[in-house]
Amino acid sequence: MYTERLQTFTLWIEKGLNKVFSQKYNPFYYHGALPNFFIWTLFISGLLLFAYYVPTMTKAYPSVKYITEQIPFGNAFRSIHRYAADGMMIFVLLHMLRVWFTDRYREYRIIPWLTGVILLTITFLVGLTGYLLIWDQEAVNLTSMTVNLLGALPLVGAGLAEFFMPGGKMVDFTLTRLLFLHLAIPGLLMFFLWMHYLRITRPVTDAPAPLYLLLLGGLFMICGFFPVELGADPNRAAFSQSISFDLLYMWPQWLAVKGWDAGWVWALTLGVIVALLWLPYLHKKTLRGQFAHVKFENCTGCSLCYHDCPYEAIEMVDRDDDTRFKRLAVVDAGRCSNCGLCVGACAFKAIEIPRRESADVLEEIKVALATTSS
């Protein structure tokens, strides 16, 4: 399978990273937690920007200029907000690729994968609206390009274009609505993040502090060496076409400038999303009908397996048969990954996975030792 090669490739990179970072601080072992660092960075730096930003046609640019030039460390905060957005997208993509390459995205992990695709889309939308809010000449050009693309959508296109540019013009509503989306969509992000973690027991939401400090240091260095710049005032400057695209967020507009038809840009965008949602279903199911089973007569209701199950597939229920035990472990077949962690947790031989019985392992050990000693 192609996935095996991808996995070997990932492990090869990690082997190198283990030498640099040691196993304890290998960033690849915290790939899901690292985007959380950027969420917090973006939230905190965004608070300051939000305090001074004025979302109207005439005041937007001056307020950004004020943040950039007057407020102590104002431009530093803007730079952090901008580069953290890039970092967020980069680390989210790395997270996604690693999960895909190591085959951890399907069957019992379907909910994290599907919500992950939604989270990726949401991250993209937040970043996109953020770029437009700067409202220098470049952002104004990008806004009209974005609205043009939106308008090309069938059915909803005209309505969306009207929502952002009532009567085809940029007015104060354009900016308030962009700002509203830029602040409201992250709320949606939190909701889907919750769903992302739903089927995961003890999700790794934080990386060790040294890794966070390393990221923060790297972020500060980039901000120091390449502070963001503010473009021309759209209220005064002559209309200019020169735009530098951040391809992590601006690739649809970039494609449009390269001469792509709006229809093709949308076909590509939606195609990528649908392909990602479809990906786990392309793989042949490997776990059909395979799940851990509880031997009722042995289960004491101690709930060790319930606590150790990494996918919340075990539930403790009351039992009223004629044993002296009050609780019983029950497996949810659809969530079970057939991994056997519950077998390792059980001291009473009460739970087994079909592909490897613990009694067989014990038997093999005994046989191996019997043949050599005789």
Partner 1 sequence: MTSTENKEKIIGLVCERSVELKDQLDEKGCLKDDPNVQIIKVPCSGMIQPIMLETALKNGADGTFACGCRIGDCHYREGNKFLRERLLGTRMPKIKPSTDQRRIQAYWLSVLEYEKLQEMVGDFQEYLKTIDSSDAATGSASQAVEASS
Contacts with partner 1 by CB under 8 A lie at: 7-8, 11-12, 14-15, 18, 23-24, 26, 28-30, 102-104, 200-202, 304, 308, 310-311, 337-341, 343-347, 353, 355-356, 358, 361-362, 364-366, 368-370, 372-373
Look up residue 179 and give its amino acid. L
Q: In 102-136, which residue ranges form alpha helices assigned H by DSSP?
A: 110-133
DSSP assignment of 205-273 equals ----HHHHHHHHHHHHHHHHHS-------TTTSPP-------HHHHHHHHHHHTT--HHHHHHHHHHHH
3-state secondary structure of 42: helix
3-state secondary structure of 294: strand
Supply the minimum distance, in Å, between the C-beta of residue 341 and partner 1: 4
Distance CA(2)–CA(100), nearest Å, equals: 11
Supply the minimum distance, in Å, between the C-beta of residue 274 and partner 1: 27
Name the DSSP class of 287: -
Would you say 9 or 43 has its CB closer to partner 1? 9
Supply the minimum distance, in Å, between the C-beta of residue 86 and partner 1: 26
Supply the minimum distance, in Å, between the C-beta of residue 369 and partner 1: 4
Look up residue 319 and give its amino acid. R
Would you say 7 or 148 has its CB closer to partner 1? 7
Which residues is 330 bridged to in the sheet?
A: 315
Would you say 167 or 289 has its CB closer to partner 1? 289
Would you say 62 or 340 has its CB closer to partner 1? 340
Would you say 12 or 40 has its CB closer to partner 1? 12
Supply the minimum distance, in Å, between the C-beta of residue 278 and partner 1: 23
* Token reading at 155: 């059915």
- From residue 170, alpha-carbon distances to 28, 149, 180 in Å are 44, 15, 16
* Token reading at 350: 């009460």
Would you say 41 or 338 has its CB closer to partner 1? 338
Decide: residue 219, CB within 10 A, 0-12 exposed, 13-18 middle, 19+ buried.
buried
Supply the minimum distance, in Å, between the C-beta of residue 363 and partner 1: 10
Would you say 202 or 258 has its CB closer to partner 1? 202
Supply the minimum distance, in Å, between the C-beta of residue 99 and partner 1: 11
Supply the minimum distance, in Å, between the C-beta of residue 276 and partner 1: 21
- From residue 80, alpha-carbon distances to 69, 73, 155, 331, 360 in Å are 15, 10, 38, 46, 57
Supply the minimum distance, in Å, between the C-beta of residue 282 and partner 1: 20
**Three-state secondary structure along 58-69?**
CCHHHHHHHHHH
Would you say 9 or 226 has its CB closer to partner 1? 9
Contact 158, 151 (CB under 8 A): yes
Would you say 29 or 37 has its CB closer to partner 1? 29
